[in-house]
Chain A
Amino acid sequence: MKRTIHYWLLLLLVACTHQVKNPKQAGELPPIYPDYVDVTIPVGIAPMNFDYEGGDYQRLDVTVKGSKGGSLHCQGSTIDFDLDLWHELVANNQGGELTFTLCVEKEGQWIQYQDFKMYVSKHPLDEWGLTYRRVAPGYEVYSQMGLYQRDLSTFDEYEIMVNTRTPGACVNCHTSNRTNPEAFLFHVRGANSATVVQKDGKRALLNTKTDKTLGLCVYPYWHPDGRYVAFSTNTTRQGFHMTKEKRIEVFDHESDLQILDTETNELLLSPLLTRKESNETYPAFSPDGKTLYFCTTLKRSYPQALKQVRYNLCSIAFDAQTGRYGETVDTLLNAEADSMSIAFPKPSYDGKWLMYTLADYGTFPIWHQEADLWLMNLQTGETKALNEVNSDNTESYHNWSENSRWFVFSSRRGDGLYTRLYLSSIDETGKATKPFLLPQKVPRHFYERLMYSYNVPDFTKEKVDIDQRQTATEILSEKRIALGVRP
């Protein structure tokens, strides 16, 4: 029935469309935004609408043909594909390609550009959508911000928690366990500080500051069994550059690691991860939960020695049965030796790869233009820059889909300041495909109008189910669970 309605609508549309007559050949690829030429997309992705950037025009006309059959036509002032027809076409061409023919009517004359392609990956993207924070790319003050989730098959965005519900609060560092929001947490900062942990529909608001640890829990990572969460705890400061090339430097005076046992509400400590002479940060469990990866550097004098601060990638064993750490720390990547610094280590869930961000120095590559994504083969230890996805601007935070075939990352390549999200897939050899900007209904207008950066993107298997109103009420209350400490 739905299909019949679509066909009738299409027929009606065809009756109203202007026929492309005697188009002049442009002999070049079309100038479109976003750059979707030769990108690889998953089945189920929202329509890859784009804008024409070649000056004034009367009308756009695009025909999409699938290598395995099917086609789609769209004409109008913007390219806005029909949602259902788009999904049908993409699904029918899984493992194949879509060819786009764009014609533009300018002053009564049609111009046809060279065809371009999008490749439909054979690997599914099983997640329902993305979660992220949207916040203005500011310095110390924040206004409206929130945690959101986006249905990847449509353009619909939903609130997880926005700070208009909890005035004055900052919400951040949301994370789920292997993209499953059944175990989900985020931090609230400000007067009503808390770490909100929601597991299997039950919610707890924790006060993670104890007198035996450095401070509040910061960067989180769930243990795959769902009982533990690794956190860093950081004393973070900011500095502001004086020259035009850079804006901000964020650095840790001190930082340690600790693991929260969500069943006993205890923080598990290790002397190897709370050393006075070093900073440890960005924890991440291996997919089997037996190893905790993290970044570490020797403490230096800040901010004087800032540009000499370089973090290496290390690991320590963890036994989930006993909640005990291993006795030794292994250095997996000595970035300092190459005068580089590692951040955001994220092992793929299939255990093959570890993706990280590499910058010239420091712990916060989000403000480093030179920061790029790198990939480490966990079997061989080999590393390589992900040149297929890197740009001249910042690539920073990233996360994997559960099948480890897709990853999402944030980049400032759009305008140099406002971070946006890009998706790419990866093959068996670790080769990534050309990334595509998170689709929007009218992309240019949307991204130009948006005064927020996308932060901390992650996939989510299902829509995060959280009672915002009740959670906000709990946040505004003073009730918090205090944590114990197990040395």
Chain B
Amino acid sequence: MNILKKYGKVLLTIALAVAAWCFWALRYPQALAYHEQIQLFLFDYDFFMERLTTPAGIARYGAEFLVQFYNNLKLGAAIIAMVYVLMQIGVWRLGQRERDESRSVWYALSFVPVLLVWFYMGDENMKFTYVVALLMAQLSMIAYPAKQSAWSKILYAAVAMPMLHWLAGPVVMMLGLYVALKEVLDHKNYALASGAALYSVACIIATAPWVPYPLFRLFVGINYNINLYEVAVIHYIIMLAFVLVPLLIQHLPKLEGKRAQAAGVVATVAVAAMGGFAIPTAYDTDKYEVLHYDFMVRRQQWDKIVATAQKKNPTTPLTVASLNLALGMTGEMNSRAMQFYQNGREGVFPSFNMNFESSLMTAEIYYHLGLVNTAQQFDFEAMEAIPDNTKSARLLKRLAETNLINGQYDVAGKYLKLLQKTLFYKRWADETMRLLGNEDAINNHPVYGQMRRFQLEKDFLFSEQEIDKVMGQLVLQNSQNFLAMQYLLLLPQLEGNQQKYLMYKDFVQKTLNEKKP
């Protein structure tokens, strides 16, 4: 019991870290991979300056710096766990400015804002910029000279608020509210309180004429969410929680003895239960299933995809398309595809709908088929479809590859040079740079060489409606393109058109016979 009393707080914080790490590393690694692939962090002066010259740019820079480490999923999970811990300690530190041990009973409450963040992170569109911005706002609140003279406080607010707004965005309202509440509750200084609150809002409004964004986006936060129009209520609830919970801890009654123990246990259990029950509900199963399939396709874990599908039949076009690709890559498409749920042509070649995730995943199918131009088109569109206008290291890598295969070495070189400025893609970019212009090396490359051999030589315009014809052309182009053959034979099966199936089968057989060495 004494150990619990002595180390209880530390153990709870460690429990948070462990739970967070397990959650992200083991249960939702696909979420980390998703966030890593919708950004491009460059170790480059211009990149830093681009960020510095936009509101919340430093929060964004910090977030992007951290998110690049998601490339290593376990490290990425550790980073999130560390940030959660810092936030929780920050809340406790703010609620315990007087370092009154008798308030330790309320320690569990300091987890509430963090659990809300964890809950909100279930929205895959929320960007880590928001989390870093919250952390920066917390720091600014901790640094507030609450016990010093009014002039010190005014001076601090006058300098810190515009700075915080520029570096971290609308979380400056947290500082404004914190100062206001602190001054009202502790000093009854209504003038300073109202002044601080208004000033924090004024900081946001004052920057509006100087930045190329509508005012509402300055209040929502540039890059807090991947969707530019997203204004989630929870976004502000969390900001409020980071201000109110510390003040609540500070002003809750002091308890002693058994009452304190009981209250502590109740608070801890209630907070843990809240987290344990609420957080999983924020993670939309279907959305994360799509991300999971994309995650496996990216890593070319074909057997794992099939095994996953065997446990739970995928039903959305993107997941079914990923499964079909995996079956094709393992040579089992025509024997096994119909054992799984199918949703027509959409589950084979999802149609282009100007959406990042769909374009990205469809591009993978075309790439493996050897339709390099089409893959390039979908990859480029996917990158442009990232709603917050960022670039993607994953897509830039694939675009470098497609341009390399197509012999567009200048463009490939342009992308590779950018990737050379990253941490995790640099080595690959350095190695690939050596292939530029080296026809023999590319032709003999196990992937790029094969892609070149698969590429169509007869030009026509791509048509989703005539995808059978495209597959047929691929088979004619190279009878070793077994993936195209499988897709060609699957299409009539999906339509239930036996006559067409037999015709295609005959075509495939004839092509194989004619091109037999």
A binds B: yes
In the complex, are the beta carbons of B46 and A243 less than 8 A apart?
A: no
In the complex, are the beta carbons of B391 and A451 less than 8 A apart?
A: yes
Q: A416–B409 Cα gap in the complex (Å)?
A: 9
Tell whether A416 pairs with B46 under 8 Å between CB atoms, given A143-B384, A244-B373, A303-B461. Answer: no
Query: Would you give the shortest CB distance from B217 to chain A, in whole angstroms?
Result: 8
Q: Chain A: which residue is nearest B378 at the CB level?
A: A139
> Is residue B514 within 8 Å, beta carbon to beta carbon, of the partner chain?
no
Choose, from A27-35, A157-165, A180-188, A374-382, the stretch at the interface. Answer: A157-165
Query: Would you give the shortest CB distance from B196 to chain A, in whole angstroms?
Result: 27
Tell whether A141 pairs with B418 under 8 Å between CB atoms, given A241-B373, A242-B374. Answer: no
Query: Would you give the shortest CB distance from A11 to chain B, in whole angstroms?
Result: 29
Contacts of B373 in A (CB 8 A): 240-244, 247
> Is residue A7 within 8 Å, beta carbon to beta carbon, of the partner chain?
no
Q: Chain B: which residue is nearest A444 at the CB level?
A: B417
Tell whether A247 pairs with B377 under 8 Å between CB atoms, given A140-B354, A167-B229, A239-B461. Answer: yes
Query: Known contacts A164-B213, A240-B462; can you find 9 more A-B pairs with CB under 8 A?
Result: A139-B381, A159-B212, A164-B389, A165-B214, A244-B406, A416-B408, A417-B410, A448-B418, A468-B212
Tell whether A448 pairs with B417 under 8 Å between CB atoms, given A144-B389, A245-B459. Answer: yes
In the complex, are the beta carbons of A167 and B214 less than 8 A apart?
A: yes
Interface centre among A168, A246, A469, by most chain B C-beta atoms within 10 angstroms, is: A469
> Is residue A476 within 8 Å, beta carbon to beta carbon, of the partner chain?
yes
Q: A140–B213 Cα gap in the complex (Å)?
A: 24
Q: Which of A395-417 contact B (CB under 8 A)?
A: 414-417
A241's contact among B229, B384, B410, B459, by CB below 8 Å, is which? Answer: B459
How many residues belonging to B are interface residues under a CB distance threshold of 8 Å?
Answer: 47
Tell whether A244 pairs with B455 under 8 Å between CB atoms, given A141-B354, A165-B213. Answer: yes
In the complex, are the beta carbons of A249 and B414 less than 8 A apart?
A: no
12 contacts between A and B (CB under 8 A): A136-B384, A143-B383, A167-B229, A240-B461, A241-B459, A241-B461, A244-B373, A244-B407, A244-B455, A415-B411, A448-B414, A473-B214
In the complex, are the beta carbons of B462 and A239 less than 8 A apart?
A: yes
In the complex, are the beta carbons of B462 and A242 less than 8 A apart?
A: yes
Q: Chain B: which residue is nearest A473 at the CB level?
A: B214
B381's contact among A138, A144, A165, A418, by CB below 8 Å, is which? Answer: A138
> Is residue B209 within 8 Å, beta carbon to beta carbon, of the partner chain?
yes
Contacts of B410 in A (CB 8 A): 414-417
Q: Chain A: which residue is nearest B382 at the CB level?
A: A141
A449's contact among B228, B418, B460, B462, by CB below 8 Å, is which? Answer: B418
Query: Would you give the shortest CB distance from B342 to chain A, in whole angstroms?
Result: 26
Query: Would you give the shortest CB distance from A465 to chain B, in whole angstroms?
Result: 16
Contact with B along A462-482 (1 / 0, CB 8 A): 000000110011001000000
Q: A245–B457 Cα gap in the complex (Å)?
A: 10
Contacts of B212 in A (CB 8 A): 146, 159, 162, 164-165, 468
For the residues of A in contact with B, the DSSP-based class is loop
Q: A136–B456 Cα gap in the complex (Å)?
A: 26
How many residues belonging to A are interface residues under a CB distance threshold of 8 Å?
Answer: 43
Contacts of B228 in A (CB 8 A): 167-168
Q: Which of A120-144 contact B (CB under 8 A)?
A: 136, 138-144
Q: Which of B308-363 contact A (CB under 8 A)?
A: 352, 354, 359
Contact with A along B439-467 (1 / 0, CB 8 A): 00000000000000001111111100000
In the complex, are the beta carbons of A138 and B380 less than 8 A apart?
A: yes
Contacts of A418 in B (CB 8 A): 411, 414
Contacts of B391 in A (CB 8 A): 451
> Is residue B386 within 8 Å, beta carbon to beta carbon, of the partner chain?
yes
Q: A239–B461 Cα gap in the complex (Å)?
A: 6
The tally of CB-CB contacts under 8 A between chains A and B is 111
Q: Chain A: which residue is nearest B455 at the CB level?
A: A244
In the complex, are the beta carbons of B385 and A141 less than 8 A apart?
A: yes
In the complex, are the beta carbons of A240 and B470 less than 8 A apart?
A: no
Query: Would you give the shortest CB distance from A169 to chain B, in whole angstroms?
Result: 11
> Is residue B208 within 8 Å, beta carbon to beta carbon, of the partner chain?
yes
Contacts of B418 in A (CB 8 A): 448-449
In the complex, are the beta carbons of B384 and A242 less than 8 A apart?
A: no
In the complex, are the beta carbons of A138 and B384 less than 8 A apart?
A: yes
Q: A144–B359 Cα gap in the complex (Å)?
A: 18
Q: A159–B210 Cα gap in the complex (Å)?
A: 12
> Is residue B109 within 8 Å, beta carbon to beta carbon, of the partner chain?
no
Contacts of B386 in A (CB 8 A): 143
Q: Which of B360-410 contact A (CB under 8 A)?
A: 371-374, 376-377, 380-381, 383-386, 389, 391, 405-408, 410
B384's contact among A142, A146, A417, A449, by CB below 8 Å, is which? Answer: A142
In the complex, are the beta carbons of A242 and B371 less than 8 A apart?
A: yes
**A-B interface, 4 closest residue pairs, ranked by CB to CB distance from nearest:** A239-B461, A415-B410, A144-B389, A244-B406
Contacts of B407 in A (CB 8 A): 244
Q: Chain B: which residue is nearest A414 at the CB level?
A: B410
Q: Chain B: which residue is nearest A137 at the CB level?
A: B380
Contacts of B414 in A (CB 8 A): 415, 418, 448
Contacts of A239 in B (CB 8 A): 461-462
In the complex, are the beta carbons of A143 and B385 less than 8 A apart?
A: yes
Q: A243–B408 Cα gap in the complex (Å)?
A: 13
Q: Which of A213-262 contact B (CB under 8 A)?
A: 239-249
Query: Would you give the shortest CB distance from B210 to chain A, in whole angstroms?
Result: 10
Contacts of B372 in A (CB 8 A): 244
Q: Which of B172-220 contact A (CB under 8 A)?
A: 208-209, 212-214, 217
Q: Chain B: which residue is nearest A447 at the CB level?
A: B414
Q: A459–B470 Cα gap in the complex (Å)?
A: 45
Query: Would you give the shortest CB distance from A441 to chain B, in whole angstroms?
Result: 11
In the complex, are the beta carbons of B208 and A242 less than 8 A apart?
A: no
Q: A245–B359 Cα gap in the complex (Å)?
A: 22
Contacts of B462 in A (CB 8 A): 239-242
Contact with A along B37-58 (1 / 0, CB 8 A): 0000000101000000000000
Tell whether A143 pairs with B461 under 8 Å between CB atoms, given A167-B228, A243-B456, A469-B209. Answer: no
Tell whether A240 pairs with B456 under 8 Å between CB atoms, given A165-B212, A448-B414. Answer: no
Q: A468–B372 Cα gap in the complex (Å)?
A: 41
Query: Would you give the shortest CB distance from A243 to chain B, in whole angstroms?
Result: 4
Q: Chain A: which residue is nearest B456 at the CB level?
A: A242
In the complex, are the beta carbons of B411 and A143 less than 8 A apart?
A: no
Contacts of B456 in A (CB 8 A): 242-243
Q: Chain B: which residue is nearest A446 at the CB level?
A: B46
In the complex, are the beta carbons of B460 and A141 less than 8 A apart?
A: no
Contacts of A140 in B (CB 8 A): 352, 354, 381
Q: Chain A: which residue is nearest B470 at the CB level?
A: A242
Contacts of A246 in B (CB 8 A): 459
Q: A240–B384 Cα gap in the complex (Å)?
A: 17
Contacts of B459 in A (CB 8 A): 241-243, 245-246
Interface centre among A162, A240, A247, by most chain B C-beta atoms within 10 angstroms, is: A240
Interface centre among A159, A449, A468, by most chain B C-beta atoms within 10 angstroms, is: A449
Q: A203–B374 Cα gap in the complex (Å)?
A: 42
Q: A342–B44 Cα gap in the complex (Å)?
A: 43
Q: A445–B410 Cα gap in the complex (Å)?
A: 14
